[in-house]
Amino acid sequence: MGADSAGPIDEFGIPIIPNPVDVSQRKRQAIIDAAIVEFLREGYSAASMDAITSRSGVSKATIYKHFGNKERLFLAVIGGILPTTYADLEPWNSTIVEAVDLRSALITLTLDWTRILLRPDIMSLRRLVIGEIDRFPQLGQLWYRVSYDMNNGPLIEAFAELDRRGVLRVPDPALAVQQLVAATVGVPQLVRTFRPEAILEDAELTRMITSGVDLFLAGYTR
Amino acid sequence: MGADSAGPIDEFGIPIIPNPVDVSQRKRQAIIDAAIVEFLREGYSAASMDAITSRSGVSKATIYKHFGNKERLFLAVIGGILPTTYADLEPWNSTIVEAVDLRSALITLTLDWTRILLRPDIMSLRRLVIGEIDRFPQLGQLWYRVSYDMNNGPLIEAFAELDRRGVLRVPDPALAVQQLVAATVGVPQLVRTFRPEAILEDAELTRMITSGVDLFLAGYTR
DNA sequence: GTCTATAAAGTGATAGAC
DNA sequence: GTCTATCACTTTATAGAC
């Protein structure tokens, strides 16, 4: 048997030698994908490098070459997934200031946030991060920064502008945003945090969010 | 050496034979105390029965005689500590209906709740429970029932009564209580959940809670 | 970079004596 | 009920060949 009898060949029978960088990157991604599944399912400690190994399809030594140890793998995986997750929430903020119907705009915004944040995969990720914060404080810092800089931040600016324009009376925009989020997203999120299987019909969710926005506007409308 | 040369003796030199039930109960408590420390520090999976054994001072076999296995020990320990923790929150609810100054009463109530729930040991317990909910759904159910029946429940009744008396206009008292808790306790609790070491001065905390109560009253005062 | 094989330590749980 | 000693297994991590 010739040396070219193994591995893929092209249409002329010439062996295709994969670009090592691509292969390495692909394996790295396979490791990350497998690690996410295992960490979310088992938690940090109970997730085994063996299970991640067999799920990813690469060898254990390769995982250690790429990530060093289990802690670093965990931080890389969770740290990488967080910004991606929260990026879905961002685009809506800018519409608040110019909205002709502020109430509708706030309801739409917070309802969209809620629908994303209540997704079972995001709730599981959130529970995982919270449960590991005493061991990995960096993740708490990161989550806080990501969620606040990417979401609360722009909204704070919007409320400050609405205050300047005389639409609302918001002496402390940062606190106001925290209260708005708490009174809307926070209500069903708290329920689902402790009861993942709790049934929340869409009409019920809409009622919760609408009521929260109305409460907010009752307090902050000039 | 006589048989009575070992063990404690009373003032007449007569050996004190400990009541086996007392000894057994005391060991059981020692196990629970040690398990709480280890579970809170390490999480469920990373906490080892060896560590609980050496911390408790009893043998491993005794732990297994008492609790069967690690899961049952965990559930017994956390399930036992939860109602105790929340019992501190209960007594204040009844004062709301009869309060001459409702605003002050609500501020006092929610500020007291907040001070208790932000305690580092309770925050750690909360993170532990949240992190294990996917594996131990019973704990989520229990936490929810304990916190809602013992705290929100009486407050719901109080708001329903205040609605009947014409003091407030509360069409959905259950939702109103969730919003009040979210807009007060929930705000600093969310910060501390992800940033355990975050500095929250007392003045800042009071301002947050006061603002949340004012927001609530702006929305629900008749 | 990637693999197989294995080391070294720790895991939950139990048998058997008292 | 309680102990000591131990089992059977899994864990993270690495050595050495390619």
Dihedral (CA of B116, B121, B126, B129) sign: negative
CA B3 → C1' C18, Å? 15
Task: State whether the beta carbon of B48 lies below 7 angstroms from any atom of strand C.
Answer: yes
Give the position of tokens 């992190």: B131
- Chain C footprint positions (protein CB, under 7 Å): 1-6, 10-16
DSSP output for B94-133 = THHHH-SSHHHHHHHHHHHHHHHHTSHHHHHHHHHHHHHT
Q: Which residues contact B80 (CB under 8 A, 6 or more apart)?
A: B32
Task: State whether the beta carbon of B107 lies below 7 angstroms from any atom of strand D.
Answer: no
Residues of chain A contacting B178 with CB distance shorter than 8 Å: 187, 190
Average pLDDT value over all residues in chain B: 91
Q: Which residue in A130, A186, A216 is closest to B127 by CB distance?
A: A130
Q: Which of A138, A194, A208 to mutate to test the interface with B (most CBs of B within 10 A)?
A: A194
User: What are the backbone dihedrals phi and psi of residue A68, each rounded to the nearest 5 degrees, phi first?
Assistant: 85, -65
Task: State whether the beta carbon of B211 lies below 7 angstroms from any atom of strand C.
Answer: no
pLDDT truncated to tens, each residue of chain B (222 aa)?
434 445 566 777 666 766 767 778 888 999 999 999 999 999 999 999 999 999 999 999 999 999 999 999 999 999 999 988 888 777 666 689 999 999 999 999 999 999 999 999 999 999 999 999 999 999 999 999 998 878 899 999 999 999 999 999 999 999 999 999 999 999 999 999 999 999 999 999 999 999 999 999 999 999
Task: State whether the beta carbon of A24 lies below 7 angstroms from any atom of strand C.
Answer: yes
Give whole-number Cα distances, B49 to A125, B36, B111, B121, B219, in Å: 27, 12, 39, 21, 52
Give whole-number Cα distances, A25 to A2, A22, A49, A64, in Å: 29, 5, 19, 14
CA A12 → C1' C13, Å? 61
User: What are the backbone dihedrals phi and psi of residue B221, each rounded to the nearest 5 degrees, phi first?
Assistant: -75, 140
pLDDT digits (tens, 9 = 90+) for A122-156: 999 999 999 999 999 999 999 999 988 788 999 99
Does pTM surpass 0.85? Answer: yes
pLDDT digits (tens, 9 = 90+) for B151-198: 899 999 999 999 999 999 999 999 999 999 999 999 999 999 999 999
